[in-house]
Amino acid sequence: METAELRDLYARMNQKNIAPLWEVLSRLVPSEPNPACVPAFWSFDRDIRPLVIEAGGLITAKQAERRVAVLENPGLRGQSQITQSLYAGVQLITPGEIATSHCHTASAIRFVLEGEGAYTAVEGERTAMRPGDFILTPSGTFHDHGNPGREPVMWLDGLDVPIVNLFDTSFSAHQQEEMQAVARSEGDALARYGANMVPVEYEARSRSAPVFCYPYSRSREALETLRRNGPIDPWHGVKLQYINPVTGGYPMPTIAAFLQLLPSGFRGEASRSTDSTVYAVAEGRGRTRIGTATFTWAPRDIFVAPSWAPVSHQADEDAVLFSFSDRAAQKALGLWREEKLQRRP
């Protein structure tokens, strides 16, 4: 109970930049996660695509530096965040455009949603961007994007910007040249580090994976084989995580990413974990229940599940979901928890 004496004390404390813990303790140290992030959904065809294409007619990729529609969580508006720890956006480059070369402390992942003919260049090597490809631009690497093709190309960007800014550790720079000179031919990194082999006595110099493109064709084929061989996990279907082939760990120090196949008719059980997770639909149609919200999805739709909200998926046809989260950072810090909820009787 707040007495007159306490109120008086608080006023004098306040003047000295001092505050009473007992007024805020339960909010500061909740008994379980209490995220500001809420479940949210963006339809690609109805919400994202028309707006991004319209922006494409009004500002060039070069003018914008990055022409991106930022997906803002409705519980975190104005902060360029899709979760407490992650940034997400949908980037467009149209035929003939480039997004100029720069580097930053933030690590980025890309998941290609639509179109062929664009590339991402990382440290002198280009990789083609095809729908479903998972692409890395690790912390501190110069990267640029270009579209010498004939159709607009759109992809999901995921960055750990809120983590980098939490620590006040952001640096960024532009490269003098708008585009990086090509130093190695396409496919070099994948051959060198991504064939279950690495150069003899290779020692990693970076905390991030030395491969920077994980082609969808390979990942999809693995899921298909595992779906035939089983078992199908009652919670996650057939779910694989992307790895750094040198360590077997997550591809980058902060961001984990996953690809899961939900067979037609799959009715998943609910589970929850402390890593708020962003999903993008690679294939198929279905529904995901997140807490009390249910989202009905189709290819290229994007949705987000907050920390500790129960999540369950259902598929009406064979479906593939891509997802990413800060699980790598949480695990490195000993914070991550998962709970598989009681199965229906």
> Contact residues for ligand GTQ (CB under 6 A)?
66, 68, 89, 91, 104, 108, 143, 157, 159
Nearer to ligand GTQ, 108 or 129 (CB): 108
CB 217 → ligand GTQ: shortest distance, Å? 23
Of 89 and 306, CB closest to ligand GTQ: 89
CB of 176 to ligand GTQ, least distance (A): 17
**Residue among 236, 242, 246, 157 at smallest CA distance from 197:** 246
Residue nearest to ligand GTQ (CB): 157
Identify the CA nearest to 269 among candidates 324, 338, 200. Answer: 338
Which residue, 154 or 282, is less far from ligand GTQ as judged by CB? Answer: 154
Least distance (Å) between residue 159 CB and ligand GTQ: 6
Shortest approach of ligand GTQ to residue 145 CB, angstroms?
6
Q: CB-wise, 118 or 319, nearer to ligand GTQ?
A: 118
Cα–Cα distance list, 57 to 54, 79, 93, 142 (Å) = 5, 26, 11, 27
CB of 16 to ligand GTQ, least distance (A): 40
Closer of 56 and 245 to ligand GTQ (Cβ): 56
Is the Cβ of residue 159 or residue 304 nearer to ligand GTQ in the bound state?
159
Phi, psi of 216 (to 5 degrees): -60, -35
**Cα 266 to Cα 63, 259, 269, 309, 314, distances in angstroms:** 45, 16, 10, 20, 5
Report which of 157, 83, 89 is spatially closest to residue 307, judged by C-alpha positions.
83
Close Cβ partners of 79 (under 8 Å, ≥ 6 residues apart)? 72, 162
Minimum CB distance to ligand GTQ, residue 91 (Å): 5
- Give residue 98's region: left, alpha or beta (phi > 0; psi -120 to 50): beta
Beta-bridge partner residues of 239: 260
